Structure 1
Amino acid sequence: MRKNVLITGASSGLGAGMARILAAKGHHLALTARRVDRLEALRDELLAAHPGIEVVVHELDVNDHDQVFAVFKQAITDLGGLDRVIVNAGLGKGGRIGTGKFHANKETAETNFIAALAQCEAAMEHFYERKAGHLVVISSMSAMRGMPSSMTTYAATKAGIAMIAEGIRSDLIGRKGLDIKVTTLYPGYIASEMNEGVQQETRMMVDTETGCRALVKKIEAEVVDAAVPGWPWAPIGQVMKHAPLGVVRRLV
């Protein structure tokens, strides 16, 4: 069992949802986010419900890359090592390219790609040292193709971090003596703060708890990659990969 788990972006949405499920399963948790008040409230909730676990929280802006490495090292000390890191922190700002929204797009690119790279680097340094660990990268179904309008930069960053995960996975091939796995998850519409602008009545939207249970199930199975929830997103993903772009833009 990968007992000690660090989750970034854990103050709300998918991060908090996964933390609740993992806590119920007996995992010790290191939770990070910018909104430390929410983290502390979540920690108190989890410890009250599951007094046998450890939960530590750290304020972390993932765009402060030095802080990423420092916080990961502190979490390693707090829990006596990390068995799994879930790279979840992300941002959904953006606008259609060419409409003056460069700074919003830039912020999304820096948060979802460069900061995620820093998290992967910090996690893998620890895992290589321990010769064991599980890196989980939360990508998006939007990573399957180039997306229109406000989703263009977001989708590109999620495709980029998926490729970083695949590259790390490639590095591990044939390396004996390492119990290190890499999982890339592609969530579809799961209710959270990030996608609250999506029409909630869409039949493809699932509630946060349902979506997070599906994510945790794939994480614990240590799959290479998966669309989550599998239905309808696994078949939709195949359509997105191969359909004409005019069809793809109508799916989002």
Structure 2
Amino acid sequence: MASPIDDGVVLVTGASSGIGAAIARQLAPRARVLVLVARRVDRLRALAAELQAGRPSLQVDVRPCDLSDRTALRALAEAVLADHDRVDVLINNAGLGDIGLFEDADPDRLAFMIDVNVVAPTLLTRLLLPAMRDAGRGAVLNVSSGFGLTWMPLFAAYAGTKHYLTALTDALRAELAGTGVVVTQLCPGPVATEFEAVAGNPTGQQVPAFLELDPDRVARAGIAAVDAGRAEVIPGLLPWLAIKAGQWSPRWLLRLLYGAMGPMLRRRLSGCARRPPVADGGGPEERGGR
């Protein structure tokens, strides 16, 4: 059976940079229409021009949207359905993180992150899914994180949003079995994107370069998983081993190990300056896996 990507209408959120832009570039030779969604319209237009220069027959639909705005989300879905009848593949890629002690997090930033990481993919999927189901063909790719399968201190709220995506993905996949619509989750480890700059890492420690994956590699893994109808993919051997070690470890053991780290983390980070809430010009599309 042909992949819904081929000659289909594909919507990518967070398409202006990182994994989202890499996915768009790799889908350009295959899709009939690419709907690119993000807040930074200048980057979207530049990417659209690049893709159409490489394949003039490709239709690129640039849709600037603040994914934290529920009214804008509904308007986006309605406009895309009006113009293209349906979306064959929805790629929920946009997201952002928050690193540090939960008690020091900015409440407005937390709410913004939950809107982008949880509410946006939920509403977009709900609004676009019925047309896929009626067509008997379609796919949803939720770009999550290794923290959707495990957890650790300093990522409390972010990991919570990604665990939500795991539950949503698995439940929808079961509900849609036999309909021709597949739901897949992409769970990368560290990716060389703008994630940490936007997440406001207060620890001063950087991920070792050998552990970071290139966005193109992560994008290829996600697209291949959609083509194969897989439930989940974790790109890269080392990230796979690290994430599965956390996922398969007994929860009591993780609580014991991470609990022992708690006092040290509090001494080191309590009261550390945190990045302020994302302002216009930044964006939730500035994401990578963790």
TM-score, normalised relative to structure 1: 0.88
* Distance change >3 Å, CA 100–CA 223, structure 1 → 2: closer
Q: Is it true that 1:71 corresponds to 2:66 in the alignment?
A: no
Runs of 5+ consecutive residues of structure 2 not aligned to the other structure = 262-289
Instruction: Write out per-residue CA displacement over residues 86-145 of structure 1, whole angstroms, 9 at most, x where no aligned residue.
Output: 011111135412225333222212221122211221221322332321111111001222
* Distance change >3 Å, CA 125–CA 160, structure 1 → 2: same
Aligned length: 246
Partner of 1:236: 242
Question: In the TM superposition, what is the alpha-carbon distance from 1:14 to its structure 2 partner?
Answer: 0.7
1:160 to 156, 160, 164: 164
Q: Is it true that 1:180 corresponds to 2:181 in the alignment?
A: yes
The one-letter amino acid of 1:235's match is L
1:24 to 26, 29, 35: 29
Q: Counterparts of 1:70 and 1:83 in 2: how far apart (Å)?
A: 18
Q: Counterparts of 1:58 and 1:82 in 2: how far apart (Å)?
A: 14
Question: What is the root-mean-square deviation of aligned Cα atoms in Å?
Answer: 2.3
Partner of 2:125: 120
TM-score, normalised relative to structure 2: 0.77
Q: Is the 8 A contact 2:89 2:140 kept in 1?
A: yes
Q: Counterparts of 1:133 and 1:7 in 2: how far apart (Å)?
A: 14
Partner of 2:285: none
1:91-102 alignment runs, 5 A limit: 91-102=96-107
* Distance change >3 Å, CA 66–CA 128, structure 1 → 2: farther
Q: Is it true that 1:62 corresponds to 2:91 in the alignment?
A: no
1:140-219 alignment runs, 5 A limit: 140-149=145-154, 151-173=155-177, 175=178, 178-196=179-197, 199=206, 201-219=208-226
Question: In the TM superposition, what is the alpha-carbon distance from 1:65 to its structure 2 partner?
Answer: 1.8
The one-letter amino acid of 2:79's match is Q
Q: Counterparts of 1:116 and 1:26 in 2: how far apart (Å)?
A: 21
Q: Counterparts of 1:103 and 1:118 in 2: how far apart (Å)?
A: 20
Greater Rg over alpha carbons, structure: 2
Structure 2 SS opposite 1:148: coil
Instruction: Write out per-residue CA displacement over residues 12-54 of structure 1, whole angstroms, 9 at most, x where no aligned residue.
Output: 1111110001113354201111111111111011000111211
